[in-house]
Amino acid sequence: MNEIIILCEGYSKFEQPDDETTMLANCTCTLIKGPDCNVIVDSMTPWDGDLLLRRLQEHQLHPDDIDYVVSTHGHSDHLGNNNLFLRAKRHIVGTNISHRNRYFVHDFDAGK
């Protein structure tokens, strides 16, 4: 059975309540831990690498144990630590799937 674990809860707010030009934001980072597959969804900002490594270690995992990395979209707080998972079988960013320098065409609308 898969286990869904929130490694870090995300947030988004204006830095100053009366100034809507600067936001403080970070995504929710989620681990899907399974008996034969581990997935990271949204790897947070590049400045959160140590935090992410600690949270993985708390769940007895190392970056090499992650099979798939999913970034829901291309903002830096969603893919900032994807480089930690170089042994993952696939990286999925939005609707793009890649492994090393190979990019795969995939019709996500087909429901596969």
Q: Tell me whether residue 72 is in a domain.
A: yes
Question: 55-102 pLDDT, tens per residue?
Answer: 999 999 999 999 999 999 999 999 999 999 999 999 999 888 999 888
Task: Tally the domains of the chain.
Answer: 1
Q: Tell me whether residue 12 is in a domain.
A: no
pLDDT of residue 48: 97
- Of the candidates 7, 16, 11, which has an alpha carbon nearest to the alpha carbon of residue 77? 11
Q: Tell me whether residue 57 is in a domain.
A: yes
Place of tokens 């870090």: 8
Q: Tell me whether residue 66 is in a domain.
A: yes
Q: Tell me whether residue 33 is in a domain.
A: yes
Q: Tell me whether residue 16 is in a domain.
A: no
Domain assignment of residue 35, given as a range: 29-102
Contact assessment for residue 48 and residue 34, using Cβ atoms and an 8 Å cutoff: no
